[in-house]
Amino acid sequence: MKDRLVVIGAIARTHGLSGQVRVTPMTDDPERFGRVRECVLWDAAHDRRERYRITGTRRQGAAIVMTLEGCASAEAAAALVGRLVALPEDEALPLGPGRFYPWQLEGCRVLTEDGREVGRVTGIERSPAQDLWIVRDDTREHLIPAVPEIVSEVDLAARRVVIRPPAGLLDL
């Protein structure tokens, strides 16, 4: 298995003629781009990963304009549009107590409050209202809305999630 990556942005388009790219931040701390010296540009569709040295960053509104070593033309920058800007998982920003990254849930056992085994978290599906946790057992897949009314406990150390599903949720 390849090293896990944490996505902090996505290359939206080129910027200028000298190879800079405009990045849409996907992190709670866009200022971190100024502290990162190296990243992985990830083409998730083909699972291609390339390491790049970041030689410059600056804010432009909500976006980040980034200069990458070896990317010196608009054509070279255009080839990177759509790539995700990622870091190794161990470089993720630490979170406060009781907070977690959605990817940390993958593989956690999911149980109901009365102890019924539902399955394991296999992924996260983003939706406008809230994330949906994909939970699979041997035969079924459930989409569990990540809301406090349903998720009553997340224990990453024990790799366990406890839910309070409304009637019918697990029958869908």
CATH number at residue 26: 2.40.30.60
Residue 57 lies in a domain: yes
Q: Specify whether 15 is located in the same domain as 75.
A: yes
**Cα 19 to the chain's mean position, in Å?**
26
In terms of Cα–Cα distance, which of 63, 67, 69, 66 is closest to 30? 63
Residue 35 lies in a domain: yes
Report which of residues 89 and 80 the model is more confident about.
80
Residue 112 lies in a domain: yes
Strand ranges (E), 16-62: 20-25, 38-43, 48-60
Q: Specify whether 118 is located in the same domain as 142.
A: yes
Maximum distance among all alpha carbons in the chain?
61
Q: Tell me which residue range forms the domain holding 25.
A: 5-91
Report which of residues 88 and 111 the model is more confident about.
111
**Rounded to 5 degrees, what are φ and ψ at 19?**
95, 5
Q: Which tokens go with 154?
A: 């997340």
Does residue 22 surpass a pLDDT of 70? yes
Q: Specify whether 67 is located in the same domain as 136.
A: no
Give the confidence band of 2 by pLDDT, cuts at 50, 70, 90. Answer: low
Residue 42 lies in a domain: yes
Residue 97 lies in a domain: no
Q: Specify whether 80 is located in the same domain as 133.
A: no
pLDDT at 95: 77
Task: Read off the pLDDT of each residue in 48-67 and give the average, rounded to a whole number.
Answer: 96
CB 84 within 8 A of CB 23: no
Residue 143 lies in a domain: yes
Mean predicted lDDT score pLDDT of the chain: 91
Which residue, of 61, 91, 121, is where some domain finishes?
91
Residue 113 lies in a domain: yes
Task: Read off the pLDDT of each residue in 41-65 and give the average, rounded to a whole number.
Answer: 94
